[in-house]
Amino acid sequence: MSNMHRIHWFDEQIRSGRFPNSSWLAREFEISRRQAQRDIEYMAISLRAPLLYLAKYRGYCYEDQTYRLPHLYMTEEEQSVLKYLAHRYRHFNHEQSDVVKRVAHLLERFTAEEQKILSRPLPTFAASPKLLQHFELLSHAITESLKVHMYYRDFSGERQFPWCPLKIISQYNADYVIGYETDPVQQSAIRLEGIVHVRLTDQTFECNSDMQLSGWEESLPVRKPFIAEIRLKEVQQTEQWQGYPIRDKQDQIHAIEFYDTEAFMQQLFISEWEELISPGWLRRRMQSHADAILNRLHNSNHAQVK
């Protein structure tokens, strides 16, 4: 439990005229008296609380009764991270999804007691600055119905195209933006992590809600996850690897769950690991993509020599 929860309790005791002290605080929250005293010092020094100890009552009061605990403000960067995490938790449709979605609406109030509801750790998601920037830009473009110029890279190479973004969704540990290039009927979804650069334009497009395919999330069936056995350099101390659940682990071999094959392969290309043991079909697909990349590099070098 955070010290702010204890500080709010201590503040309420003072305002009720009960003259609390460090022993009360330690007993109430089952912490050491030294930790309780640090909380009181934090109130006095960092929160500028006008604490006054009265020996007669063996407790504290406020020397200035008009004092109020300051509100906790978040930086814009912290707000962006929370906004992104709320988006990911809101689209989490697998184990304990009801609890996870409730967390999406209560991020700022999330406490240790709420976390005890989960039998497994809360899912974690990578939130790189680049991904957050793309998420913010596309969210703005969707709100204002602005066209964007997209620089996109996947296993087939890099390309550029205009894009009319309609909606951002999450499926199987990957974010997608739904939209179209020119024809609203020809909608498709591209992964956010494949975006190299996105630029807002001053061109708008008509966003007809009747034409948006609201069933994108439901169109992908919720199936049993694939399991990849991967030998990592070190035994993971958590139940997640790069945001993917670890079902089992024996020494350095980890059984990792995934749904979206392309997203998982992309994660494998950028992550450190020792050996991909199974499944065989995933090994073959990884080998095929790696060979294609090597061939393109070989052809590029050959062309430069000429």
Q: What is the pLDDT of residue 93?
A: 54
Q: Which residue has the tokens 């939130």?
A: 127
Most confident of 211-220, 273-282, 293-302: 273-282
Lowest mean pLDDT among 101-110, 163-172, 225-234, 297-306: 101-110
What's the Cα-to-Cα distance from 255 to each of 53, 68, 173, 234, 296, rounded to whole Å?
Answer: 57, 51, 16, 14, 32
**Is the domain of 31 the same as that of 100?**
no
Sign of CA dihedral 228, 234, 238, 242: negative
Maximum distance among all alpha carbons in the chain? 93
**Is the domain of 167 the same as that of 149?**
yes
**Is the domain of 150 the same as that of 208?**
yes
SS3 203: strand
Whichever domain contains 8, its CATH number is: 1.10.10.10
Structure confidence at residue 305 as a pLDDT band (50, 70, 90)? low
**Is the domain of 148 the same as that of 200?**
yes
- Assign residue 242 a region: left if phi > 0, alpha if psi is -120 to 50, beta otherwise? left
**Is the domain of 30 the same as that of 106?**
no
β-bridge partners, 150:
161, 198
Inter-axis angle of helices 3-15 and 22-29, nearest 10: 130
pLDDT digits (tens, 9 = 90+) for 124-155: 555 567 777 888 889 889 988 999 999 998 76
What are the backbone angles phi and psi of residue 246, rounded to the nearest 5°? -100, 115
Does any domain span residue 111?
Answer: yes
Q: What is the pLDDT of residue 92?
A: 58
Q: How far apart are alpha carbons 267 and 269 in whole angstroms?
A: 5
pLDDT digits (tens, 9 = 90+) for 249-284: 888 899 998 877 877 888 888 888 999 999 888 998
Does any domain span residue 68?
Answer: no
Task: With beta carbons less than 8 A apart as the criterion, state whether 23 and 33 touch.
Answer: yes
**Is the domain of 209 the same as that of 266?**
no
Does any domain span residue 71?
Answer: no
Does any domain span residue 91?
Answer: yes
Does any domain span residue 255?
Answer: yes
**Is the domain of 230 the same as that of 273?**
yes
Please count the other Cβ atoms lying within 10 Å of the Cβ belonging to residue 159.
Answer: 11
β-bridge partners, 169:
176
**Is the domain of 204 the same as that of 233?**
no
- Count structural domains, the chain: 4
Q: What is the pLDDT of residue 78?
A: 58
Whichever domain contains 135, its CATH number is: 2.30.30.100
**Closest of 177, 190, 80 to residue 130, by C-alpha:** 80
Residues of the domain holding 245: 226-300
Q: What is the pLDDT of residue 193?
A: 80
**Is the domain of 213 the same as that of 136?**
yes
Does any domain span residue 187?
Answer: yes
Does any domain span residue 306?
Answer: no
Does any domain span residue 248?
Answer: yes
Lowest mean pLDDT among 96-105, 151-160, 264-273: 96-105
